[in-house]
Amino acid sequence: MTPTRLTRATLALAGGLGLAAASAAAADEVNVYSSRQEYLSTPFFDGFAGETGITVNTVYFKQGMMERLQAEGANSPADLVMTVDIASLQAMTDARLFQPVESSVLEANVPAQFRGSDGLWFGLTTRARVIYYAKDRVAPAELSTYLALAEDKWRGRICMRSAHHDYNRALIAAVILHYGEPAAEQWLRGLKANLARRPQGNDRDQVRAIKEGVCDLALGNTYYMAKMMADPEQKPWAEAVAIFFPDQGANGTHVNVSGAAIARYAPNRDAAIRLLEYLSSDDAQRLYAEANFEYPVKPGVAWAPIVESWGRFTADATPLSHISLWTSTATMLIDRVGFDE
The enclosing domain of 117 has a CATH number of 3.40.190.10
- Same domain? For 261 and 247 the reply is no
Q: Which domain holds residue 39?
A: 5-126+257-302
Whether the pLDDT of residue 278 is over 50: the answer is yes
Q: How big is the chain, counted in residues?
A: 341
What's the pTM?
0.89
Amino acid identity, position 211 = K
Task: Calculate mean pLDDT across residues 71-83.
Answer: 97
Task: Calculate mean pLDDT across residues 233-247.
Answer: 98
Whether the pLDDT of residue 155 is over 60: the answer is yes
- Same domain? For 65 and 13 the reply is yes
Distances (CA, A) of 295 to 29, 41, 67, 97, 141: 29, 16, 30, 27, 25
Q: pLDDT averaged over the chain?
A: 92
Q: Model confidence over 299-338: pLDDT tens digits?
A: 999 999 999 999 999 999 999 999 999 999 999 999 999 9
Q: Which residues of 52-84 are buried (b: 16+ CB within 10 A; e: fewer)?
A: eebbbbbbbbeeebbebbeebeeebbbbbbbbb
Per DSSP (E only), the strands in the chain are: 5-7, 29-34, 55-60, 80-83, 98-99, 122-134, 158-159, 217-221, 241-244, 255-263, 295-296
Tell whether 214 is covered by a domain.
yes
How many C-alpha atoms does 317 have within 13 Å on its Cβ side?
A: 4
Task: Calculate mean pLDDT across residues 112-123.
Answer: 94
Position 37 scores a pLDDT of 81
Position 41 scores a pLDDT of 86
Question: Of 6 and 103, which is predicted with more confidence?
Answer: 103
Position 26 scores a pLDDT of 53
Number of domains in the chain: 2
Task: Calculate mean pLDDT across residues 34-44.
Answer: 87
- Same domain? For 108 and 163 the reply is no
Tell whether 199 is covered by a domain.
yes
- Same domain? For 175 and 209 the reply is yes
Q: Which residues of 198-232 are buried (b: 16+ CB within 10 A; e: fewer)?
A: ebebebbbbbbbbbeebbbbbbbbbbbbbebeeee
Percentage of residues of the chain with pLDDT beyond 70 = 92
Contact 289, 303 (CB under 8 A): yes
- Same domain? For 41 and 180 the reply is no
Q: Model confidence over 171-212: pLDDT tens digits?
A: 999 999 999 999 999 999 999 999 999 999 999 999 999 999
- Same domain? For 65 and 118 the reply is yes
